[in-house]
Amino acid sequence: MRRAAALLAALLAAGCAASFTPEDEALALRVANDPAFHRSGKGTPAEFMTNKCEYGGITCRTVRNGPGDDYAYCVAKLAGIYRDAQLGFAWTEPQSRWKLPELAAAPRIDGLVSEPEWRGARICSGEFPLSETARREAAPTRWYFGVYGGVFHAAAVFADPEITVFRDRRQGTPEPLYFADCFEFFLRPDLRSREYYEILVNPEGALWCMRQRFRETGSWDTLDADSNPGITAAARRIPGGWSVELSIPLQTAGAEFSFAAVRIDLGGGELRRSSPVPLLYDGHNVFGHIIASGRTSVSSATVNAPSE
């Protein structure tokens, strides 16, 4: 989604007209002329998407005004939002709620995922491509989650015969970390706040954390493009793939917080994103995060089911 927006913006900046079909234009006009569309997703899985279509916003106004500067770009954008919103209205997966187990001990964050170190963790197997509900059983991915001593620990092991690494920690550049192989983790420490962290770790162990705030009118703002509230991370290349470990202090978290884990995989020129549980849109969709609690000790469990 971020990549599509960047491509559209690049086309616009270059003075290239974005193309659209008559169907695209009909859908865009439907959204632009409907004051209720922006509010129609409130309280539904589509909320993240419909928030992007404020009736008085520049995109809707540009389409209502008819052909002119930026019209093609705005038509393509609104048509895409409409289609994605329909996916949200049809989404029936319940939001996951987890009690995170207390680990037997704090794992050593060295990028080498050892089963004994992660004893007691909640373990998920396989991957769900974003916005899909069918697990890719063939993917041997394993995800690990747990808490110890007020710290949230996460890890993953990915099979990957074609590891591609980008190193840029700046947004809007040709090769930022999130356009190549990466572990992307989103944490919203306080459900009463609109702020959350976006954390990226690449196979070389490069760590990039941004403090974000989602807008009530859609999208998000970067409050701090290089933030690190005590996060420790490490990654390693292993035979046939790579592994990653992450620890995040939870001192500022509420009794409940939310998070999402995403694998970004660049292979064969295609960028794919997946998650341990069904996740609609992407990790910036805080309305689709896993709601978690982990302030008290919970019985150890190994879980392959996507949610409770």
pLDDT at 275: 98
Residue 77 is assigned to a structural domain of this protein:
yes
Task: Based on the fold, state whether residues 12 and 104 are members of the same structural domain.
Answer: no
Residue 305 is assigned to a structural domain of this protein:
no
Strand-pair category, 207-214 with 290-293: unpaired
Out of 56, 89, 122, pick the residue that ends a domain: 89
**pLDDT (tens digit per residue) in 269-280:** 999 999 999 999
Question: Look-up: residue for tokens 């996740």?
Answer: 279
H or E element, residue 25: helix 22-32
pLDDT at 138: 73
Range of the domain at 76: 2-89
Out of 30, 64, 89, pick the residue that ends a domain: 89
The one-letter amino acid at 296:
T
Task: Based on the fold, state whether residues 62 and 176 are members of the same structural domain.
Answer: no
Task: Based on the fold, state whether residues 162 and 35 are members of the same structural domain.
Answer: no
Out of 37, 55, 89, pick the residue that ends a domain: 89
Residue 261 is assigned to a structural domain of this protein:
yes
pLDDT at 8: 42
- Burial class (CB within 10 angstroms; exposed 0-12, middle 13-18, buried 19+) of 270: exposed
Contacts of 18 (CB under 8 A, 6+ apart): 8, 11, 12, 72, 73, 75, 76
Task: Based on the fold, state whether residues 14 and 142 are members of the same structural domain.
Answer: no
Residue 243 is assigned to a structural domain of this protein:
yes
Task: Based on the fold, state whether residues 120 and 251 are members of the same structural domain.
Answer: yes
pLDDT at 297: 30
Q: Cα-flanking dihedrals φ and ψ of residue 197, to 5°?
A: -110, 140
pLDDT at 218: 72
User: CA distances (Å), 17 to each of 10, 20, 63, in order?
Assistant: 11, 9, 15
Residue 298 is assigned to a structural domain of this protein:
no
Task: Based on the fold, state whether residues 254 and 215 are members of the same structural domain.
Answer: yes
Task: Based on the fold, state whether residues 145 and 243 are members of the same structural domain.
Answer: yes
pLDDT at 247: 97
Instruction: Report the half-sphere exposure of 228 (CA within 13 A, side-chain side).
Output: 12
Q: How many domains does the chain have?
A: 2
Q: Tell me which residue of 136, 185, 211 sits closest to 290, measured CA to CA.
A: 185
Contacts of 303 (CB under 8 A, 6+ apart): 122, 123, 124
- Burial class (CB within 10 angstroms; exposed 0-12, middle 13-18, buried 19+) of 174: exposed
What pTM, to 2 d.p., does this model score? 0.87
Per the CB < 8 A criterion, the answer to whether 8 and 18 are in contact is: yes
Task: Based on the fold, state whether residues 181 and 228 are members of the same structural domain.
Answer: yes
Task: Based on the fold, state whether residues 195 and 218 are members of the same structural domain.
Answer: yes
pLDDT per residue as tens, the chain (308 positions)? 554 444 344 434 433 456 889 999 999 999 999 999 999 999 999 999 999 988 889 999 999 999 998 999 999 999 999 999 999 999 999 999 999 999 999 999 999 999 999 999 999 999 999 999 999 877 799 999 999 998 999 999 999 999 999 999 988 899 999 999 999 999 999 999 999 999 999 999 999 999 999 987 778 999 999 998 899 999 999 999 999 999 999 875 668 899 999 999 999 999 999 999 999 999 999 999 999 986 533 222 333 333 33
Task: Based on the fold, state whether residues 121 and 265 are members of the same structural domain.
Answer: yes
Task: Based on the fold, state whether residues 125 and 226 are members of the same structural domain.
Answer: yes
CATH value at residue 110: 2.60.40.1190
Residue 302 is assigned to a structural domain of this protein:
no
Residue 53 is assigned to a structural domain of this protein:
yes
Residue 14 is assigned to a structural domain of this protein:
yes
Residue 283 Rama label (left phi>0; alpha psi -120 to 50; beta): alpha
Task: Based on the fold, state whether residues 174 and 78 are members of the same structural domain.
Answer: no
Q: Where are the beta strands (DSSP E) in the chain?
A: 97-99, 122-125, 128-129, 142-148, 151-159, 182-188, 195-201, 207-214, 220-224, 232-238, 241-249, 257-267, 270-275, 290-293
Q: What is the dihedral of CA 281, 282, 283, 289, to 10 degrees?
A: 30
